[in-house]
Amino acid sequence: EVQLVESGGGLVQPGGSLRLSCATSGFTFSSFAMTWVRQAPGKGLEWVSGISGSGNGMSYADSVKGRFTISRDNSKNTLFLQMNSLRAEDTAVYFCAKGGRAAAGPIYFDYWGQGTLVTVSS
């Protein structure tokens, strides 16, 4: 059974940092692209960042470029999102999601975690 479990969310002051983790199981982690998607309270889904199965290819939304860094540890089947210089507008539930096709880019996402809430406030 495929499982994705996010952790690391919480309350942080503006300008602060957080590192989110997404522990996975039930599939060959290194074969699939992974992504982070966020949802601000009462708002829609926003793609944040994606990374290839090998970790060599990655991309970011303009809204987080230069502040967030996506990475993965294929030996531990875990995805990460390092978030620096956090702003109030980064407040959201952050979901990790698995790419749907092996050895392909982020063309669709077939499994999602339950999300972890990040609140940026003083």
Partner 1 sequence: QSALTQPRSVSGSPGQSVTISCTGTSSDVGGYNYVSWFQQHPGKAPKLMIYDVSRRPSGVPDRFSGSKSGNTASLTISGLQAEDEADYYCCSYAGAYSVVFGGGTKLTVL
Residue 8 interacts with partner 1 (CB under 8 A): yes or no = no
What is the distance between the alpha carbons of residues 93 and 42, in angstroms, rounded to a whole number?
10
Minimum separation from the CB atom of position 122 to partner 1 (A): 27
User: Per-residue contact track with partner 1, 24 to 43, x per CB under 8 A?
Assistant: ---------x-x-x------
- CB-count exposure of residue 68 (10 Å: 0-12, 13-18, 19+): buried
Residue 44 interacts with partner 1 (CB under 8 A): yes or no = yes
Residue 9 interacts with partner 1 (CB under 8 A): yes or no = no
Beta bridge partners of 3: 25
Kindly indicate which of the ranges 9-17, 24-32, 78-86, 109-117 contains the residues binding partner 1, using the contact rule CB under 8 A.
109-117
